[in-house]
Structure 1
Amino acid sequence: MDLPRTPSFRLDGRRALVTGAGRGIGLGAAAALAAAGAHVVLAARSAAEIEEAAAAIRAEGGSAEALPLDVADIADAGAKITAAGPFHALVNNAGTNRPAAFPDVTPEDFDAVMALNVRAAFFVAQAVARGMMATGISGAIVHVSSQMGHVGGARRSVYCASKWAIEGITRAMAIDLAPHGIRVNTLCPTFIETPMTQPFLADAGFKANVLEKIKLGRLGQVEDLMGAILFLCSDAATLMTGSSLLVDGGWTAE
């Protein structure tokens, strides 16, 4: 009897771009993809940080390089991504948050969050997708969204708007890019302990409220997402597109 074989999670011979790669989820994504054999290009504004991260990956036998850029500078980032590509995978991770109660949100808050979380993410993905199409690569694009792209949250009206937008963009992209063999999905974490969330989680009351909603009773760690990212970028997910992978500890279960 010929048994079915599990598709490979290896990424040998492939190139991956990770934005916001110097710390937190982006650093975890870069480490996971490199450990699976991909050559990883780490992109962020913080040149020293991504150089250090790329060096750490190489020190462990991986293949990595730094690509300093500002994803919010659409023209410059697009040119640099095109020159560094093509890529077989993108983890579109760069993002921000400016929590505020809805009546207190300023136009500056709104514009800053939407510019990075939506506008920049859209055009980074476009640059990568164009490179894939031009070279016939059947690749994978992973937008790092959030559980807040599926529910609402206090003091997070703009952040929720940005992540719901990413969920919609992902589904439309998946339809447009499917004929080219390019898959597009979102990864939707709960609260992960990272440098970005640390200031919020330092508030004992806020942290207690978060833990009450996470059914598994603990905050997420970057390591909790690394397997999911690898899955979405690998051949194990070749029939998955236009979907969301929630790694939320059960937050959205009710």
Structure 2
Amino acid sequence: MKLQNRIALVTGSTQGIGRGIAVRLAEAGADLVINGREDGEEAQETLEQVRKLGRRACFIAADVGVVAECRRLVNEAVAQMGPLDILVNNAGLQKHRPFLDAEEAEYDQVLEVNLRGPFFLAQAFARHLRDSNRGGRIINNSSVHEELPFPNFTSYCVSKGGLKMLMRNLAIELAPLGITVNNVAPGAIETPINSSLVKQPDKLERLLENIPAGRLGQPRDVAGAVAFLASDEASYITGTTLVIDGGLLWNYSEQ
């Protein structure tokens, strides 16, 4: 088990890609800190899946869009589970809004969760590793939209483009501490956020025409890449984005 005796904190891991990542890391031997904005059935389901694999796990509620909550999340994770080894900044959201109609509050909400949260979570995590004289892994769940324009989702694209440069800068600054920093960039993944798309055959067909692999991705497709980047096998990989999109990025066209 490649992540035996490692402890991972995965934000936004109560469902979708985040849950898939948490379960995959547990399969590789890691113990897990599950995070979401509030406890509930989804959080408990993730905990149950991780514990069925024989791994330790806890849930900590925190809003990663609030800096004080980011710092509390890391501190409580260490207090409950022990020294952390892996941080996966997975929590994220998007708002559909034409640019000319965009509102400040929506922009702020997207940037707070998608960019400010990863910034200050990474800072708290890296300080923890520095103070305990240990290396570690930071993996951000970005998007193909760190590269690809997405009309009517400008704030989302801004946040993911910023996350790309955050990753690159931190990779350079934190490398002397033995901390690697990388992004995964999913394309179209079948998760609850895309449930309405799956129910619209015409829209789904047009999207699939842009994906050379001919299918939507699954959370496990992203989770496997995260598990690799978290492992010792990826110890010399830092400052890069691993695209997981079935070829969509280089084949996409607006229709």
Counterpart among 73, 82, 101 of residue 66 in structure 2: 73
Q: Which moved more, 1:28-37 or 1:68-77?
A: 68-77
1:227 matched to 2:234: no
SS of residue in 2 equivalent to 1:155:
coil
Task: Give the Cα–Cα distance (whole angstroms) in 1 for the partners of residues 244 and 54 of structure 2.
Answer: 29
Aligned to 1:252: 249
Contact 1:16 1:90 in 2 (8 A): yes
Q: What amino acid does structure 2 have at the position aligned with 1:253?
A: W
SS of residue in 2 equivalent to 1:192:
coil
Aligned to 1:6: none
Q: What amino acid does structure 1 have at the position aligned with 2:207?
A: V
Contact 2:211 2:248 in 1 (8 A): yes
TM-score for both structures, normalised by structure 1: 0.92
SS of residue in 2 equivalent to 1:197:
helix
Q: What amino acid does structure 2 have at the position aligned with 1:188?
A: A
1:226 Cα shift? 1.8
Aligned to 2:31: 39
Aligned to 1:174: 171
1:51 matched to 2:51: no
Task: Give the Cα–Cα distance (whole angstroms) in 2 for the partners of residues 246 and 214 of structure 1.
Answer: 13
Task: Give the Cα–Cα distance (whole angstroms) in 2 for the partners of residues 10 and 61 of structure 1.
Answer: 15
Contact 1:51 1:65 in 2 (8 A): no
1:102 Cα shift? 2.0
1:30 matched to 2:19: no
Give the percent of matched residue pairs that are identical in Structure 1 and Structure 2: 38
Task: Give the Cα–Cα distance (whole angstroms) in 2 for the partners of residues 226 and 93 of structure 1.
Answer: 11
SS of residue in 2 equivalent to 1:47:
coil
Task: Give the Cα–Cα distance (whole angstroms) in 2 for the partners of residues 215 and 177 of structure 1.
Answer: 36
Task: Give the Cα–Cα distance (whole angstroms) in 1 for the partners of residues 133 and 48 of structure 2.
Answer: 30
TM-score for both structures, normalised by structure 2: 0.91
1:136 matched to 2:133: yes
Task: Give the Cα–Cα distance (whole angstroms) in 1 for the partners of residues 35 and 229 of structure 2.
Answer: 19
Structure 1: tracts of 5 or more residues without a match? 1-8
Aligned to 2:239: 242
**CA offset digits 1:62-87 (Å, max 9, x no partner):** 22111121112211331231232231
SS of residue in 1 equivalent to 2:203:
helix
Aligned to 1:95: 92
1:62 matched to 2:59: no
Aligned to 1:187: 184
Task: Give the Cα–Cα distance (whole angstroms) in 2 for the partners of residues 100 and 209 of structure 1.
Answer: 21
Aligned to 2:153: 156
**What's the C-alpha RMSD, in Å, of the aligned pairs?**
1.5
Structure 2: tracts of 5 or more residues without a match? none
**CA offset digits 1:165-213 (Å, max 9, x no partner):** 0000000010110010100000000011111222344444432332121
Contact 1:34 1:64 in 2 (8 A): no
**CA offset digits 1:34-91 (Å, max 9, x no partner):** 1111111101113123233112211232221111211122113312312322311111
SS of residue in 2 equivalent to 1:32:
helix
Aligned length: 246
Q: What amino acid does structure 2 have at the position aligned with 1:81?
A: V
